[in-house]
Amino acid sequence: MKIALVSPYDFAYPGGVVNHISALERCFTAMGHTVKVIAPISKAVSVFGDRFIPMGSPRSVPSSGSVCRVTISLKLAKPLKEVFAREHFDIVHVHEPFMPMLCTAVLRFSPYTNVGTFHACAGNLGYYFGWPVTAFMIRQRARKLHGHIAVSEAARSFAAQNVPGKYAIIPNGIDTEHFTPDVMPLEQYADGKLNILFVGRLEGRKGVPYLLKAYQQVKKEVPQSRLIIVGPGKRMRQVYERQVSWSGLKDVVFVGFSSYEDLPRYYKTADVFCAPATGRESFGIVLLESMAVSCPIVATNIAGYANVVKHGAEGLLVPPRDDESLARALVCLLTDSGLRRQMGAQGRLKARGYCWENVSQRVMDYYTSVIDKTAYREAAVEVGAGAPG
């Protein structure tokens, strides 16, 4: 099968959708399929060699309390038509199908069987940027989608408000050979203190202010504790560092960006992983990463996270924006090593079901079903057109 995987986001910057597409490309190629990735890219980096087709120059655009890097070019028609005329795809798989401008253009010009994966659960730029125009565009482009995938029930519920249809729920995956309990912890934090770990971009919706406030109480009850904050975001980091300084809070470490190679060691170093996001999370990749390394979790009880972690099994779920509940849950796990081991083991077992090999096979099976249904419909239309009047 010849497959096009389309990303609206700058492929030079790692992120949830970019990583998702990269994993699918790797697995599909290993299965023997021919795969091309179509995406904007800002740097002259070797991604997949001739398997990568650059399309458009990305720009930074605010979206959902974050910043996404997408192409806003209006001159994609000619290069896309040339690609489609040359490549003869069996499936064109568009991620975030209505994110301007590449994905909407792909749906407009693709003559092939088109599948869309919806990742977001709220505030997607494609739904709210220039709403009167986008609403019309969505109705037009939605007709070109032959199949719909959502990464979670939260993503399906949000997408279906704008694009009605039947959705397959196929989650994000994880590399369970990379994220494994067999990695070594980071020596600088192996000093007997109990480590709480946060991993994520330093943005308001990720909930770091609530975690810092909760940690003030945790530090009183568990003096031999440390909070390690991993993730990019220079402006907000300065804000949070001032918050720590003003409060006199000790043992808070801001690491900044961590490479993908080092991330498993941070999870291994942690005694508890904490994800205090306030909302707008359709899934929880960081939760899976933590679970795969057998690290127990304290997370907010939002739709995207509750789809991954069961309260009392792999971790504890607390109300969002509630620093007191967050503190109690953290203290509960920090002071109970047996519970931490139990939840860590259950998390590791559950994470194995999300390995990319399983997820990619589910996506491939869905491709086959969509192609078969599309062929059946086209054959039925041809028979109907040829029937005597």
pLDDT at residue 132, as a whole number: 41
Residue 35, both tokens? 């795969």
Does 122 reside within a domain?
yes
Does 182 reside within a domain?
no
Does 178 reside within a domain?
no
Residues 129 and 105 in one domain: yes
Domain total in the chain: 2
Task: Return the closest-CA partner of residue 331 out of 253, 220, 200.
Answer: 220
pLDDT at residue 140, as a whole number: 79
Residues 14 and 161 in one domain: yes
Does 381 reside within a domain?
yes
Distance CA(306)–CA(231), nearest Å, equals: 22
pLDDT at residue 385, as a whole number: 59
Q: In what order do the strands lie in the sheet with 52-54?
A: 52-54, 34-39, 2-6, 91-95, 113-118, 147-150, 167-169
Residues 301 and 216 in one domain: yes
Strand pairing of 66-71 and 58-63? Answer: antiparallel
pLDDT at residue 128, as a whole number: 44
Residues 143 and 232 in one domain: no
Residues 232 and 315 in one domain: yes
Residues 249 and 121 in one domain: no
Does 91 reside within a domain?
yes
Kindly report the CATH number assigned to the domain that includes residue 220.
3.40.50.2000
Q: What's the gap between Cα 368 and its chain centre? A: 24
Residues 107 and 135 in one domain: yes
C-alpha distance from residue 300 to each of 16, 202, 221, 238 (Å) = 19, 16, 21, 24
Does 206 reside within a domain?
yes
Residue 8, both tokens? 């609206």
Which residue range forms the structural domain that includes residue 328? 187-352
Residues 135 and 254 in one domain: no
pTM: 0.88
* Ordered mean pLDDT values, 10 residues apiece, the chain (389 residues): 96 89 97 97 80 92 74 94 97 93 94 95 55 63 94 92 92 96 97 97 93 98 98 93 95 95 97 96 94 98 94 98 98 98 98 97 98 77 57
Distance CA(10)–CA(43), nearest Å, equals: 9
Distance CA(275)–CA(324), nearest Å, equals: 15
Residues 232 and 99 in one domain: no
Does 50 reside within a domain?
yes
pLDDT at residue 46, as a whole number: 67
Distance CA(389)–CA(382), nearest Å, equals: 14
Does 180 reside within a domain?
no
Residues 105 and 230 in one domain: no
Return all residues near 13 (Cβ < 8 A) that are at least 6 apart: 42, 69
Residues 199 and 334 in one domain: yes
Residues 102 and 242 in one domain: no
